[in-house]
Amino acid sequence: MIDFTQKKFGVISLGCDKNRVDSEKLLSLICEKGCTVTDDISEAQILIVNTCAFLNESRKEAIETVLDCSLRKSDKLEKLVVTGCLPQKYIGEIFNGLTEADVFLGTGDYENFFAALEKSYGGERVNFVGTGKGALTTDRRVTTPLHYAYLKIADGCNNRCTYCLIPQIRGSYKSEPMESLLTEAERLGDVSELILVAQDVTRYGIDLYGQKKLTEFLQKLTALVNIKSVRLLYCYPDMIDDGLIEEIRVNPKIIKYLDIPLQHSEDRILKLMNRKGGRAEYLALIRKLREKIPGIALRSTFIAGFPGETEEEFEGLCDFLREAKLENCGFFAYSRELETAAYKLKGQINYFVKKSRVRKLYAVQEEICREKMQGFVGKKIKVLCDGIDYEKSCFFGRAYFQAPDIDGKVYFNAPSAAQGEYIDVIIDRADSYDLYGRTEDFEL
């Protein structure tokens, strides 16, 4: 038997925030065994790479990361473990091809982590993909700054968008039991901002309880004393109902912010994507949200260059952005993924055309964001302090309309500010995405 308490473990988590939560739970299992975890991967004797496989670029990044890590075997590294989406979907190809890795585990196999590792120390490469039951602890070793954290409320997806591999990788939509999630949230300790994630948070509970339970869950979650505020990401437009809108409106702990992945605006393209709704429905929803929840910040993502997208349809998407005036947006060039329905569609668009369309979408949105940001100049806004930016020699944080990593920041000067503390900041200037200001008691 190997005494793993004498080993140092390191983790590299790639991909989305949902993957991050899985990594944090695996880290908790490692710590429960009395093992040492290091943030310095050069010190790790056992290194885990939790991979993403959503797009070809994600798979390329995952493989390159594994190859880079394998070079450390000439130093302290003894075992290289590859987990997550890449082995879950592609173990047939990578087990024999990616010989640099010693152990492979899928998305639901973390309970067998130490058994697989023990076997690996016996002298063989190990494939444990598909051996687990998906059981994970409600404990976490949080890797975000301690004042905010993510809570993954479900895994998998039932939406079957024609461009997406997620259902093939993660399976059908599976909600986590409400009681387990509440326990997990309590065990996080004091959290200034808890960010709910899933492939579709608005579908929460249908598979488990026979009906949507997000609103009820939000009521119970925000009743926890340690949770100061809650942010919602990845809300599908057709699942946002009046009950949820009202809960967001009246519940002071729910941040007035929604991430709604629309993916396109034009009806024909949306139908080809197998997305529910269309341009008129999307604009109506945006108007309704702004009417019912004054000041709400709306974020979305869009795909440019989907097969068959005409110049007129692309310009229609640009016009949609100008009309919707969303607070924040992300844009992606369509990625042609084998085994998706869209792979076989006619009218595949040239790579450079797709990239050009993405650039134009960002230019359109930048003008919208610049105008919105200028509207805050001279005003006082509440900012959650995330820390110190040493290059800019000031503090930085986020207003309610800014989610971590994907939106802009507020940079501010103050005599002092504590991480996780809400600060009133007077905004002096703005650019396209960021705001710059000071506290009232800061002397210029």
Alpha-carbon span 260 to 430, nearest angstrom = 25
- Tell me whether domains 4-127 and 148-374 share a fold: no
Residue 444's pLDDT is 66
Looking at the whole model, is its pTM more than 0.85?
yes
What is the per-residue pLDDT across 422-443, written as a single tens digit (0 to 9) for each? 999 999 999 999 999 999 988 7
Q: How high is the pLDDT of residue 134?
A: 80
**pLDDT above 70 covers what percent of the chain?**
100
- Report d(CA 198, CA 184) in Å as an integer: 15
pLDDT in tens, 31-73: 999 999 999 999 999 999 999 999 999 999 999 999 999 999 8
Name the token pair of 87: 């082995």
Size of the chain in residues: 444
Give the model confidence (pLDDT) of 162-195 as tens digits: 999 999 999 999 999 999 999 999 999 999 999 9
Mean pLDDT of the chain: 96
From residue 56, give the alpha-carbon distance in Å to each of 139, 308, 333, 359, 366: 32, 21, 12, 20, 27
Domain 380-438 belongs to what architecture?
Beta Barrel (2.40)
- In the prediction, which pLDDT does 136 show? 72
Residue spans of the domains in the chain: they are: 4-127, 148-374, 380-438
Among the four given CATH numbers 3.20.20.140, 3.40.50.2020, 3.80.30.20, 3.40.50.2300, the one describing domain 148-374:
3.80.30.20
Q: Give the DSSP H/E element, type plus range, for residue 328.
A: strand 328-333
pLDDT band of residue 153 (cuts 50, 70, 90) is very high
Q: Is the pLDDT of residue 135 over 80?
A: no
Q: Which two tokens stand for residue 96?
A: 């024999």
pLDDT band at 26 (very low <50, low <70, confident <90, very high): very high
Residue 138 has pLDDT above 90, yes or no: no
pLDDT attached to residue 236: 96
pLDDT tens, residue by residue, 411-423: 999 999 999 999 9
pLDDT of residue 1: 82
By mean pLDDT, which of 226-235, 324-333, 435-444 is the weakest?
Answer: 435-444
How confident is the model at residue 345, as a pLDDT? 97
pLDDT 10s digits, 263-289: 999 999 999 999 999 999 999 999 999
Residue 221 to residue 178: CA distance in whole angstroms = 9
Class of domain 4-127: alpha beta
